[in-house]
Amino acid sequence: MARIQKSALGSGISVITEEMPDVESSTIGIWVNTGSRNETGRLSGVSHFIEHLLFKGTDRRTALDISREIESVGGVLNAFTSREYTCFYVKVLNKDLPLAIDLLSDIFLNSKFDRKEMEKEKLVVLQEIKMVEDTPDDIIHDLFAERFWQDHPLGWSILGSSETVKSMQRVDVTGYFRSHYHTGSVFVTAAGGLKHRRVAGLLNKTLGKLKKTGVTATTSAPEPSPGVKLHKKKLEQVHLCFGVPVPPQPDPERYKVYLLNTILGSGMSSRLFQEIREKRGLAYSVYSYLNLCKDAGSLVTYAGTSSETFSAVVGLINKEYVKITEGVSAEELRNAKEQLKGGMLLGLESSDSRMTKLARDEMYFGRVVPVKEIIREIDRVTARGIKAAARRLFRPDRLTLVAIGNVDNKDLPKNLKKILI
């Protein structure tokens, strides 16, 4: 029997499972195809706020009951919100799977959205926002997204702002929940020492009874906004993000983008780490990362440096962007492929990582992408293909630079001022 199976509940909600026979744990997640990009300006942060509120009590359980019940079996109950989706998940020992499904279904279906709890939780979220705002190496990524996806919800903070969170009323939150968290936007993934038939049967008793309603919400694709935005602030360091648009997650070019990111800034052997930290000592932290969405994407380099070395670090990052358009060696590409494949395989050893992969495959590809296929596609990338992709992506007119710290436009490298400003 196939280790990965998919079926539909009576409500139409898809259930996708992967059996891992030798694993002692199971992880199950309810996924909603809605995130901060689906919000309006007035309700910015509502998806993240709903994530918090679903743990504050149901008709059957208080917030304390929910915590005690999952902790009494050593399990984990948690959630997270992204720009494109929200997930509520439980990880337990295999024997406790019925409890996990009952608890997860209860908070998703029967949360009370109590007014008093809601007002208290607003204070928690406001503290979370302040914490991010007080952490420049966190807030810089939000500032970059805001500038990069200018005037589009993809660029908004997932947490929302203090103003939008304070202004949210119960009717706003419950209305948004009803209009976005319905059978048309929900699916379930699970992985571990479980059986598909048993999981589907347990879920049919809860989620299977829902009335079929709604369709997945869609939004327009954003347009990247190249240029520069410097946030003047008295800090010990300057924190910067410097990036370019890349193809979205479902694009066949993604494997080349994965490898470009690996070569540029993934790990201590990467070009950026070696050039900026190891050779010159200009930054403690320097790396690149990918933010790939359904219809858009970015490759971003982060670095933290002093105001005196800001210009040099920006210039060196740009130099590496130019350099990679000139090509990569066979050895460098081979090492990057092995690093990428090894990291992926090591990352898929747990039930929660397998559960997450099933969900991302469903959201972005509408099918399970076998690990063997991913490895094959990585291996198919050539040095010539990498060079061609780099030349398309790392053009001067596509660059966006955002920084926070004691710098302004005069501190930019001379060769970039005409491009960025």
DSSP run (H or E) holding 379: helix 371-380
List all residues 6 or more positions away from 37 whose beta carbon is below 8 Å from its beta carbon.
83, 84, 152, 153, 154, 156, 219, 293
Q: What percent of the chain has pLDDT over 70?
A: 99
Same domain, 344 and 250: yes
In tens, the pLDDT along 110-160 reads 999 999 999 999 999 999 999 999 999 999 999 999 999 998 999 999 999
Report how far residue 388's alpha carbon sits from residue 390's, in angstroms, rounded to the nearest whole number: 5
In tens, the pLDDT along 200-234 reads 999 999 999 898 887 777 788 999 999 999 999 99
Contact 362, 14 (CB under 8 A): yes
Read off the CATH number of the domain in which 281 is found. 3.30.830.10
DSSP run (H or E) holding 53: helix 46-53
Q: At what angle do helices 196-204 and 97-110 cross, to 10 degrees?
A: 40
Counting DSSP H helices and E strands in the chain, the numbers are 16, 11
Same domain, 268 and 142: no
Identified catalytic residue from 18, 19, 39, 51 = 51
In tens, the pLDDT along 67-82 reads 999 999 999 999 999 9
- Give domain status of residue 123, yes or no: yes
Q: Which residue is it, tokens 């598909």? A: 196
Contact 200, 188 (CB under 8 A): no
- Give domain status of residue 252, yes or no: yes
Instruction: Note the pLDDT of residue 212.
Output: 83
Both structure tokens of 81: 């919100």
Three-state SS across 130-192?
HHHHCCHHHHHHHHHHHHHCCCCHHHCCCCCCHHHHHHCCHHHHHHHHHHHCCCCCEEEEEEE
Same domain, 190 and 260: no
The range of the structural domain enclosing residue 109 comes to: 4-209
* Band of pLDDT at residue 248, cut at 50, 70 and 90: very high
Of 84, 77, 85, the C-alpha closest to 105 is: 77
Same domain, 183 and 253: no
Instruction: Note the pLDDT of residue 418.
Output: 75
Q: How far is the CA of 175 from the CAs of 31, 58, 421, in angstroms?
A: 19, 18, 43
Same domain, 193 and 277: no
Same domain, 204 and 237: no
Same domain, 260 and 357: yes
- Give domain status of residue 44, yes or no: yes
Same domain, 280 and 344: yes
* Band of pLDDT at residue 362, cut at 50, 70 and 90: very high
Report how far residue 321's alpha carbon sits from residue 326's, in angstroms, rounded to the nearest whole number: 9
Q: What is the largest CA-CA distance in the chain?
A: 65
DSSP state of 211: P
- Give domain status of residue 396, yes or no: yes
Same domain, 231 and 205: no
Same domain, 205 and 269: no
Same domain, 187 and 240: no
- Give domain status of residue 219, yes or no: no
117 a catalytic residue = no
Both structure tokens of 180: 């976005």
Angle at the Cα of 220 (from 215 to 225), degrees rounded to 5? Answer: 150
Q: Which of 174, 209, 244 lies at the terminal end of a domain, its last residue?
A: 209
Work out the number of other CB atoms within 10 angstroms of the CB of residue 7: 15
State pTM to two decimals: 0.94
The residue type of 117 is: E
Of 60, 82, 99, 73, the C-alpha closest to 249 is: 82
Report how far residue 273's alpha carbon sits from residue 92's, in angstroms, rounded to the nearest whole number: 38
The total domain count for the chain is 2
- Give domain status of residue 50, yes or no: yes
Instruction: Note the pLDDT of residue 23.
Output: 94
Instruction: Note the pLDDT of residue 211.
Output: 85
Report how far residue 91's alpha carbon sits from residue 301's, in angstroms, rounded to the nearest whole number: 33
**For range 162-179, the mean pLDDT:** 96
| Mean pLDDT of the chain, nearest integer | 95
Both structure tokens of 363: 């959201």
